[in-house]
Structure 1
Amino acid sequence: MKMNAEMVQRWLNTYTHAWMTYDPDEIAALFTDDAEYRWHPWDEGEDVARGHSQIVAAWQENRDVAGTYHGEYRPLLVKDGMAIAVGLSSYYTDQTQKTLKRAYHNLWVLHFTDEGQCRSFTEWYMQAPDKS
């Protein structure tokens, strides 16, 4: 089955939920056994998380305080197992999510298997200016 925008949106929603819960099984299920996860387009060598164990470990290393993260992402382009997604990652000072601490505009390049798992994730992000 070929990935389409609806399937990518489901994957993005699942990604967001996994980021909020940090559940290792949810994180691992998003990616292939040999997936590569890059936080920057220039990441190479040891800066790339490879496979479930490294990706899960990387997510677990820098956990956000529960309830302080909110993410909204959508597919911008989907073609031949590749998707470009855009969105906003917001981080708040506490669980009430009344005071924004920082926000990032994201662009992700995702490559998927026909089964819907991500085999390559590359992130571009820019911190939004503080408007207070």
Structure 2
Amino acid sequence: MDRASVAAWVDAYERAWRTPGTEPLADLFSPDVSYLPSPWATPIQGLSSLTPWWDSERHGPDEPFTMTRDIVAVDGDTAVVRLEVHYQQDTPSRWRDLWILRFNDNGLCTAFEEWPFTPGQPDGH
């Protein structure tokens, strides 16, 4: 993977979040993906488990939000991306995330790890 490929993948992820249904997920994730939505969560194993979770986590494809990204690092099959997401309907509405992504040779994500943070969130101290 290179920065351009990772940027294209993140853009496709955002488009998938804004698209009805879950069909685009097969173009993003490998069938055996491990998807960790937070560092303390139990990983979601496999695309067949990810699809219902995906639909349950969003308010629908017309959910208003903005998303910006900064690719921090790409090393071989692994990338780190910093994102800022502002949802217009949720509380909390602002999130800063770090994504650690691992890809296969076909550019599909095999491991997705998210570290989401929102203002006012306990910092663990």
Fold agreement, TM-score > 0.5 = yes
Q: Do structure 1's residue 61 and structure 2's residue 56 form an aligned pair?
A: yes
Specify whether residues 127 and 22 from structure 1 end up closer, same or farther in structure 2 by C-alpha distance, changes over 3 A only: farther
Give the alignment partner of residue 7 of structure 1, picking from 5, 8, 18.
5
State the partner residue of 1:97. Answer: none
The secondary structure found in structure 1 opposite 2:14 is helix
Tell me the CA shift for residue 69 of structure 1: 2.2
User: Residue by residue, what CA displacement relative to the aligned partner does 1:8-38 show, whole Å, maximum 9, x if unpaired?
Assistant: 0000000011111243111222100100000
Q: Which runs of 4+ in 1 moved over 4 A?
A: none
Percent pairwise identity = 27
The secondary structure found in structure 2 opposite 1:84 is strand
Q: Do structure 1's residue 128 and structure 2's residue 119 form an aligned pair?
A: yes
* Pairing of 1:1-132 with structure 2 (within 5 A): 3-43=1-41, 47-65=42-60, 66-93=62-89, 102-128=93-119
TM-score for the superposition, normalised by structure 2: 0.86
The secondary structure found in structure 1 opposite 2:38 is coil
TM-score for the superposition, normalised by structure 1: 0.81
